[in-house]
Structure 1
Amino acid sequence: MRYLPLTPEDRGAMLARIGAKSIDDLFVDVPTAAQLEGPIAGLPNHASELAVDRHLSALAAKNTAASQIPFFLGCGAYKHHVPASVDHLIQRGEFLTSYTPYQPEIAQGTLQMLFEFQTQVARLYGCDVANASMYDGSTACWEAIVMARRVTKRGKAILSGGLHPHYVSVAQTMAKFTGDILDSAVPELNAETDAARLLAAIDKDTSCVVVQYPDILGRITDLAPIAAKAHENGALLVAVVTEPVALGALKSPGEMGADIVVGEGQSIGVGLQFGGPYVGLFACQERFVRQMPGRLCGETVDAEGKRGFVLTLSTREQHIRREKATSNICTNSGLCALAFSIHMTLLGEKGLRDLATLNHALAVKAAERLAKVPGVELVNDGFFNEFTLKLSKEARPVVRALDSKVLAGVSLGRLYPGVKALENGLVVAVTETTTAEDVETLASALEEVLA
């Protein structure tokens, strides 16, 4: 029996109160193409639990797992080895079942973990302070843009063409509600970043410049000149890092003048997981801490002088007046943050540097081999563990033709549909899990399909 607590009269009264003529008015922001006009075709109204289990298992069996065939996908989600001890530790009951530490006195373990996580992120990013995490990299990126608006009292953000298009899309969606102007572009399929465009675009109306490091094509930008020009005009530099392992080899954004550094932490401790849950990282320089979204865990002493941990800052809409909140993100990705922190602790500084060195060395070898394939051109002059190839054919059908034996990479035609200048681009990611045999499989497959 269905439970329908609201009568038609109840619904009518509620709609009248908010000024809506019908329930359909509540969905006007959802594109028509994404709305259903009736039940999903082919989906039965009911089935037994056993039948549903068998059907879903059959559907799941059609998936190709990242571990089954050579894997070169990246663009913000990377296949790294996660030690078994990470999964073992995060499943301990005191961590797995814990939620928001509203009562610090009985959540000391969780708060201490978040405090240490913040320290790791701040050191990794080269910033003074980091928060206790956010949903994912894309929402952290938007929160940085709107934070820059609060700091500068300006509403125009300049987005690098090398910023992940999904991050751009999230920012564009949210900017509809804040009125921010987003100056964005698509990347060009060459070795040069759009640093010159960014420098030329910065003016006295700019709130921030957002640069991905390394960018969507794997190119690495010197952030220092952009930071200097932004600061001259009273704007902030926001750096976005989708591959945190890169910072084991590259100079941190904070060292180059970035005011806010955000990104995705999935690479460290968190598996691919069909796209989520992931963990957003967010850090900034100390002078901006009062405008930082999310929550900040801090260290203190109790009445007896013993070390303890508390929620130092939590300027979100659950805790203060809504109009004073810096964010409506109401939680942090606690379990994923814990996985990140455990893996980072196991690596240590030397381990992270060694891992980054290994990633880069393997990527260089792979790029050199793939560039020898007829019909393949290496776009990048420099990169970390991800680079872009320009194929002699459109990349998207090439990837599809190979997907039974190798996941060849991410086609730019998929990320930028309709942009003809990018349709031959293929972004290839190489990590410590990639073997020489995997690279040879990809090279041979490309030789065959591009012949």
Structure 2
Amino acid sequence: MPFVPHTEDEVREMLATIGVDSVEDLFAEITPDMRPKSFDIPEGLSEMDVLSKLEGLAAKNATNSVSFLGAGFYDHYIPAAVDALTMRGEFYTAYTPYQPEASQGTLQAIFEYQTAVTRLLGMECANASVYDGGTALYEALMMAVRKTKRRKIVVSEALNPIYRVMLGSYTSNLDLEFVTVPHKDGMTDIEGLKAALDDSIAAVLVQNPNFFGSINDFTGLFEAAAKVKAVSIVSAYPVLQSLLKTPGAMGADVAVAEGQSLGLPLSFGGPYLGIMTCTKAMVRQMPGRIVGRTTDTKGRTGYVLTLQAREQHIRRQKATSNICSNQSLCALRALVHMCALGELGLKRAARVSVERAHICAGKLTAIPGVEMLTKGAFGNEFAVTLPVNAFEVIAKLTERGFVPGFPLGRYFEGLENGLLVACTEKTSEEQIGIFAEMLRGALK
């Protein structure tokens, strides 16, 4: 028998309070053509039949393709230890510590995660994460707005366009003004960003490496932002931070990242991990939870929620955010992944990824008509221009089991022939060679 929580009298009372006559009136905004045509659900199946049906559906997915797709999400190798440890029951059944001091294991795991990501990014403080890299960037922007009381933001066009779309969606009704500084042939226009800074600017948003794979040092830009009291925000790629100058060393006020590359499978788009770090001066603007380590009255080590400025803990109008989830399991995977690799292992994964990308760039640009778009130093990702529309090439090669990259024309006008290519330590030189020959054939 189905569970029905309300009596007919209670339903009528609720409808009267809302001011509608029937439950159907609640859905009046949904046009008839968009409403369910039928609830004629098929008869149930046995466990064996369900398994067979789901396996058939799963088999339709192209899981064996060789992928050079990146654009913010990367297929790095995940050690078996990550699954073995994080799938223990005490970890994967744990969620938000609503009675925090009773959840010492969860709090310690979060504290260790915070410690690891602040060291990786060279920052002073971290929270227990938000949803993903895009929401982390939005939360960083709002930190700057609260800190400066300003409404104008300078954004580099070389910032991930997916994130820029997310920023536009989240802020569409917040009366904020965005000044977008165009990229220069895939390069971040640092001088243009500096020129856009004045005492009306709340924050400057950049990415390293940028969306086209170009590596930058934003020290000078962040110094210029500090002079007008604007907040410097950088979106970083965690794996490459083991090799590059850190956001902290550049003088960033807030550094965020998509944590997927640290032990999280691509999984058709999630769940992922929004890494958030900042300087101590910005910590009270940071959303979510921050775990601290202390001692009790007997001198024993204990873990506590030091700051918890979310709507469930304080008055709603005082909350810093209403989307600051605690992605504990995803954060734990990132922590275990970093610990399993260690400093040398993380650097080796980054170095091999960069080496493979440079080998790939060399082979692709040896093909007539293919030219580098990314200029100067780049990491494990780079952009090229093709003599034909990139969408056509992607369609041809994907059918043959090779996903050649991300079509820049999807977000950048005038770059319809642009292709963004990524490599990781899982990309073999043999695969690169096959990719180059397939591309050569597709362009003939």
- Give the TM-score normalised by structure 1: 0.90
Q: CA deviation at 1:330?
A: 4.6
Contact 1:406 1:441 in 2 (8 A): no
Structure 2: distance between partners of 1:121 and 1:274: 25
Match for residue 59 of structure 2 among 35, 58, 61: 61
Structure 1: distance between partners of 2:91 and 2:314: 27
Match for residue 321 of structure 2 among 318, 324, 327: 327
Number of residue pairs matched by the alignment? 434
Q: CA deviation at 1:385?
A: 0.3
Contact 2:181 2:189 in 1 (8 A): no
Q: What does 1:366-385 align with in structure 2 at a 5 Å threshold?
A: 366-380=360-374, 381-385=376-380
Q: Which residue of 2 aligns with 1:220?
A: 215
1:129 aligns with 2:129: no
Q: Which residue of 1 aligns with 2:417?
A: 424
Q: Which residue of 2 aligns with 1:433?
A: 426
Q: Which residue of 2 aligns with 1:147?
A: 143
> Structure 1 unaligned runs (5+)?
none
Identity of aligned residues (%): 43
Structure 2: distance between partners of 1:6 and 1:239: 54
1:353 aligns with 2:353: no
Match for residue 79 of structure 2 among 55, 76, 83: 83
The alignment yields a C-alpha RMSD, in angstroms, of 2.4
Match for residue 230 of structure 1 among 212, 225, 234: 225
Structure 2: distance between partners of 1:162 and 1:152: 24
Q: What does 1:189-228 align with in structure 2 at a 5 Å threshold?
A: 190-228=185-223
Q: CA deviation at 1:217?
A: 0.8
- 1:86-141 superposed Cα distances (whole Å, 9 cap, x missing partner): 00000111111111122334311111111111011111111111111111110000
Match for residue 38 of structure 1 among 32, 35, 39: 35
Structure 1: distance between partners of 2:392 and 2:368: 17
- 1:199-245 superposed Cα distances (whole Å, 9 cap, x missing partner): 1211211100000111111112221121011111110110001x211
Match for residue 275 of structure 2 among 278, 281, 290: 281
- 1:176-203 superposed Cα distances (whole Å, 9 cap, x missing partner): 2322222236645x24322222112112
Q: CA deviation at 1:56?
A: 4.2
Contact 1:70 1:441 in 2 (8 A): no
SS at match of 1:274: coil
Q: Which residue of 1 aligns with 2:177?
A: 181
Contact 2:264 2:333 in 1 (8 A): yes
SS at match of 1:173: helix
Q: Which residue of 1 aligns with 2:16?
A: 13
SS at match of 1:176: coil
Contact 1:315 1:326 in 2 (8 A): yes
> Structure 2 unaligned runs (5+)?
none
Q: CA deviation at 1:15?
A: 3.5
Structure 1: distance between partners of 2:372 and 2:33: 44
Q: CA deviation at 1:372?
A: 0.6
Structure 2: distance between partners of 1:349 and 1:436: 25
- Give the TM-score normalised by structure 2: 0.92
Q: CA deviation at 1:359?
A: 1.4
Structure 2: distance between partners of 1:434 and 1:130: 32
Q: Which residue of 1 aligns with 2:162?
A: 166
Inter-CA distance 400–185: structure 2 relative to 1 (3 Å threshold) = farther
Structure 2: distance between partners of 1:219 and 1:370: 17
Structure 2: distance between partners of 1:280 and 1:40: 39
Q: CA deviation at 1:38?
A: 2.6
- 1:390-436 superposed Cα distances (whole Å, 9 cap, x missing partner): 1111111211111132011111123x1xx540111111110100001
